[in-house]
Structure 1
Amino acid sequence: MSAPHSILGTGISEGLLLKPVRYQWAMDLYDQAVANTWFPNEIQLGEDLADFKRMTDEEKHAVTFLMSYFNPNELLVNKALAFGVYPYINAPEAHLYLAKQMWEEANHCMSFEYVLETFPIDRTEAYSSHVSVPSMAAKEAFEVRYIKRMTEQTLDITTTEGKRDFIRNLVAYNIILEGIWFYSGFMVALSFRQRNLLRNFGSLIDWVVRDESLHLKFGINLILTVLDENEDLQTPEFAEEIRQMILDGVEMEEQYNRDLLPTGILGLNADYVNQYVKYLADRRLEELGFEPHYQVSNPAKWMAAANDTLQLVNFFEATNTSYEVNARSGS
Structure 2
Amino acid sequence: MPSEISVDDETATQLLQQMLRIKAFEDETKARYEDGEIPGFVHLDYGHEGNHVGIGAAMEDDDWLAVGGARLVGQYIAKGVPLTEIMAELYGRVGGANSGFGGQMHIADIDRKLYGHAATIGSGQNPAVGLALAEQMKGTDNVAVTTIGDGGTSRGSFHTALVFAAYWNLPVVFVIENNGWAISTPSDALAPDHLSDYGIPHKIHNESIDGSDVEQVYQTVSEAIERARNDEGPSVIECRVARLGPHFEGDKELYRNTEDRERDSNERNPIENYRERLLEAGVLTKAEIDDMQENIDAEVQEAVEFARNSPEPNPESAYDHVYRLPLYGQGE
TM above 0.5, yes or no, is: no
TM-score with structure 2 setting the length: 0.26
Q: Give 1 or 2: higher strand fraction.
A: 2
TM-score with structure 1 setting the length: 0.26
